[in-house]
Structures are given as structure tokens and as C-alpha cells.
Structure 1
Amino acid sequence: MSVQERKERERADRERLILATARELAEHQGWEAVTTRRLAARIEYSQPVLYSHFRGKREIIGAVALEGAAEMAAALRAAASATDDRRARVTALADAYLDFAARNPAVYDAMFQLDGGLAFAVEESPEALKDGFAALRETLVAVAGEGVDPGLFTEVFWAALHGLATLTRAGRLRPGDTERRTELLVDRLALL
């Protein structure tokens, strides 16, 4: 291995450490606890080293959001591929989305609530964001209905899932009805 390859590997390792530490702090103490000073102390590098990877907290949030989008896309595809039944696929997709949001609240916030400097729904959107949307669309295109734009249908279904995830987490919905809400969403919106 050349010196340059070793340096690149070490840099990538440091970047993964920064992001993992930011995620851990955010999941346990909230994004307010994620500061460059605290991150530098936790990873045992100076703040200038941290700034050599990311220009600040906003870029860290953006990087966490991209990681989260890739993880969510993988979870959605795995859930939807578990069956050939259309209704079961859409239900599994919805359940996987809501489960990801519940298990990873800080990452979910980075993806959809916080300013990570990412552009959504435009040509310049990062590939991980496009892939996250594609993971939803791949299953939903089959149930969009005749004459309905599959992209628009996916946006509406996604918005409904996001609303359920956000309102459930905020304690704004009656507890214990998560499964019934998902069934209603799948049955009425996807017309299955």
C-alpha cells in the first residue's frame, strides 16, 4: 500500500468516526449537543482536523442525512422484496419506513427536519436522496393507479408516512393504533 493510499484510508476512517460520533451524540442527547468542540474532544482530534473534513455542523448534518437516506433505501428495498403480494409489499414498505424513523430519530431529523444544506427533488439532489425516493417509488409505481403520475403518487404516500412518523414521535396521535393507521393508509391511498 502506498503512502497516499494509507493517508486516504486514514482520512476516510476519521470521517466515519466523526459521523458515527455525531450520530451517537445526536441520538442520545439531541442535535443541540453536537458541536464541533464536543466532537473534536470525543474523537480525540483537534477542531482544525474536524474542519478539514467538514466546514461545520451543517455539513455534518448533511453527511448524516445522506448516510441515513442510503440506510433507509436499503431497509425499504429489503422489506418490499420479502413478498410478491402487492398489498403486503406496500404494507412492508410503510412499516419499514415508520420503523426506521422510530429507531433512528436523530438521523431522521437530519434527513427531513434539519438544514444539512441538501437540495431535495431537483436535478442537483445528491444520489443518496434520489435513491431513497426511488426505493419508495419502485414499490409504489405498481399501485399508483391508471392515469396517476407515479412520482406524484410517491410524494403523497411519502408525505403521509412522514406525517405519521412525525406525529407519532411527537405524541400527537393516539397510542396503539400504528398498525391500523398503516392499514388505512395502504388500503385507501394505494387502493388495495
Structure 2
Amino acid sequence: MSAVRERRERERAARHQLIVAAARELAEAEGWEAVTTRRLAERVEYSQPVLYSHFSGKDAIVRAVAIDGFGRLGAHLHHARTATPWRREALRAACRAYLEFASKRPALYQAMFVMPTDLKFAHAETPPELRAAFDEFVSCFRPDNARRELFAEVIWSALHGIAVLSESGRIPPDSEEERLDFLITQLADTPSSG
């Protein structure tokens, strides 16, 4: 590959990341309804045709933001999980980190889990960022636990429910630790999980 072509590819990748970051920041500041191709073009100082050369429209932008979000979530979960050598405490730390991420980054969380995208979970086409984030929960359970993926799915599903219900005010936030204790006790104390 020529040096000119490599430079163009690096520039294209940098533009792509700039657009994704601008969309995420705009959504976090003003909500997803504020994210339009016109507003993004102004914010990144490129024309709308340049934006469309990267993304076919808002749905594609939301998808890219979601994938980027899963990369961020995976890194956040990994840091929390590996900060303690004890498996049960690692699970608690990962659960707390998940809920913290959801509450501190609601617009990003919304792109990842609430807004419609064509992202597939548990599928051959699952982007590696999604799988890596999920694997942080899988890693909280012993490798000899044949049901560790199921346990991770249940944990993730319950945490998602807690995050969405808390964000909408449908469950009181002051009971979060009690919910985590219940969830972790139910799964961590199950035979073959610890």
C-alpha cells in the first residue's frame, strides 16, 4: 500500500472518529433529537456530503456511537472487574460499574440499548466490542461453570432493567445496593458458579 493511500485511510478513520465523538457529545448535551446531519456537519466543520460519505444517515451514526460505547463500557467493566482478586467481589464491582456507566452516560446508554439499531447480540455478526463487554461478565464466573454465559446474560439483563427503571424514576435509587446484593447472592451462591 502506498504512503499516500495509508495517509488517506488514516485521515478517513480520524474523520469517522471525530463524527462519532461529536454525535455522542451532542446527544449527551442536548439529547438524540438534536443530533442531525446538519448539526454534526457544522460541529465537525465538514460538509453534509462528507458526513454521508461516512454514514448513510442518523441510524448509521447511532450504530457507530453504540459500538464505540460498548468499547468504552467493556474497558470500564474490565477495570472494575480486575481491580479485585476475588471473583464474587469482581462480579459486584462489574455490576456497580455497569450501573454507574448507565447513569453517568444516559445518551450513550440509550444509543447502545434503547434506540433501534441493527446490532446483533449473540450472533456471528456481533461486533467484537459488544462481545468483549459481555465477556467481562462471563469472566466473573468460574471457567468450569458450564452455565457461565447464561449467568452473564441474566446479570446483564437484570442490570439493564435496573438501569432503565432507575433512569425513568420507576424504582427508587436508594435501594440499588439491596438489589445488587440480591442479584449477586442469587447467582454467585448457585452451585458451580463461585
Same fold (TM over 0.5): yes
CA–CA distance in 2 between the matches of 1:102 and 1:10?
33
CA–CA distance in 1 between the matches of 2:11 and 2:84?
41
Q: Following superposition of structure 1 onto structure 2, how do residues 67-106 of structure 1 map, counting pairs within 5 Å?
A: 67-106=68-107
Q: Quick check: 1:174 aligned with 2:175?
A: no
Structure 2 unaligned blocks of 5 or more: none
Query: Equivalent residue of 1:134, what SS?
Result: helix
Structure 1 unaligned blocks of 5 or more: none
Q: Quick check: 1:63 aligned with 2:64?
A: yes
Task: State the 4+ residue runs in structure 1 displaced beyond 6 angstroms.
Answer: none
CA–CA distance in 2 between the matches of 1:31 and 1:189?
36
Cα–Cα, structure 1 residues 130 and 175, in superposed 2: closer, same or farther, change >3 Å? Answer: closer
1:156 is matched with 154
Q: How much has 1:185 moved relative to structure 2? A: 1.5
CA–CA distance in 1 between the matches of 2:167 and 2:53?
35
Residue identity opposite 2:71 in structure 1:
A
When the two chains are superposed, the root-mean-square deviation of aligned CA atoms in Å is 1.9
Determine if contact 1:93/1:136 at 8 Å carries over to the other structure.
yes
Residue identity opposite 1:83 in structure 2:
T
CA–CA distance in 1 between the matches of 2:63 and 2:83?
31
Q: Quick check: 1:49 aligned with 2:69?
A: no
Q: How much has 1:6 moved relative to structure 2? A: 2.3
Q: TM-score, normalised by structure 1?
A: 0.91
The count of aligned residue pairs is 189
CA–CA distance in 2 between the matches of 1:137 and 1:60?
29
Q: How much has 1:86 moved relative to structure 2? A: 2.3
Q: How much has 1:42 moved relative to structure 2? A: 1.3
Determine if contact 2:20/2:61 at 8 Å carries over to the other structure.
yes
